[in-house]
Amino acid sequence: MALTIMATCSECRTYFPLDVDFDMKEIVCPACGHAQTGFTEGDVETMQRVAASQRKSSIASLVAFGIGMVAFLAFAACSWSGEYDEDSLVSVGLPVLSVIAAIVALVFGYLGSAKRFICEF
Ligand SMILES: [Zn+2]
């Protein structure tokens, strides 16, 4: 699985995308040629594991957001059409479901973007 992180060269401050790979022997700055030893296998495994779990969290966040939007739009449609009844499951359940889905989407969205790897060499 390809993983790209942002890297900064300590010599010329060039900021560039770096493809992280297991067989990466050294990191080379594309602007000035400054080079340093590449990541260890453990580093690469850690970065790939975190990236995979963040990808899953991002997908879960999008799904929760979608469920919340559908629940909210269904509630709005029912209210608009005059079918609003304070005691019905639709009138109480759909807003509650949309709020819960929004909170779940926020939590997974945070988990999906909390950790970023930055490489300065
Ligand atoms: Zn450089």
SS3 (DSSP) at 106? helix
How many angstroms is it from 15 CA to the middle of ligand 1? 9
The predicted model scores a pTM of 0.73
- Report domain extents, the chain: 1-39, 56-114
Which stretches does DSSP call E strand in 21-106? 26-28, 35-37
The pLDDT score that the predictor gives to residue 97 is: 93
How many angstroms is it from 36 CA to the middle of ligand 1? 11
SS3 (DSSP) at 39? coil
pLDDT in tens, the chain (121 residues): 678 899 999 999 999 999 888 788 899 999 999 999 988 888 889 988 999 999 999 999 999 999 999 999 998 888 877 766 666 777 888 899 999 999 999 999 999 988 888 899 9
How many angstroms is it from 57 CA to the middle of ligand 1? 34
